[in-house]
Amino acid sequence: MVSLFFQSVILLCVLKNALCFDCNMVHVEGEERGAVTLLQSDVRTIYKLTVYTGNKWQEIFQSGKMTNYGKDRYKGRLSISNSRDVTMTNLRMRDAGTYKAITVEYDMVLIECYQLKVTRRAP
């Protein structure tokens, strides 16, 4: 019963913030072939991480596991340690875009949006 309630709350939050238009957008910038940390927390647990691409949200990580899409797109360049910290290494230009993390902190569900900008590395 608690699980069903939790899933309903998450669904309502996701629907409310589906496109991250009313989220506080965190701007993150990295250099091509460099690394960035999108999320770092001691108390929040990542429930879901998505990226907006191809006019839809693609799931990268959900419920403690990397999705097939995440494995194919990032090929080991995205590390999510202890379901808390998200680090992307060996950045590529196509990694730029909007990312959304649904996290849980104690009994609160939080939605955080990140706008990743990747700049070309000088030759």
Residue that the structure tokens 């990268």 belong to: 60
6-20, 43-57, 99-113: least confident range: 6-20
Q: Mean pLDDT score of the chain, rounded to an integer?
A: 83
Distance between CA 115 and CA 98 in Å, rounded?
5
Q: What is the pLDDT of residue 9?
A: 62
What does DSSP assign to residue 95? Answer: G
Percent of the chain at pLDDT above 90? 42
Neighbouring residues of 48: CB distance < 8 A, sequence distance ≥ 6: 59, 61, 62, 63, 101, 102
> For position 37, which CATH number holds?
2.60.40.10
- What range does the domain containing 19 cover? 2-119
Strand partners, 19: none
Residues 59-108 pLDDT 10s: 999 988 899 999 999 998 998 877 678 899 999 999 999 999 888 888 88
Smallest CA-to-CA distance from 21 within 90, 77, 96, 100 is with 100
How many domains in the chain?
1
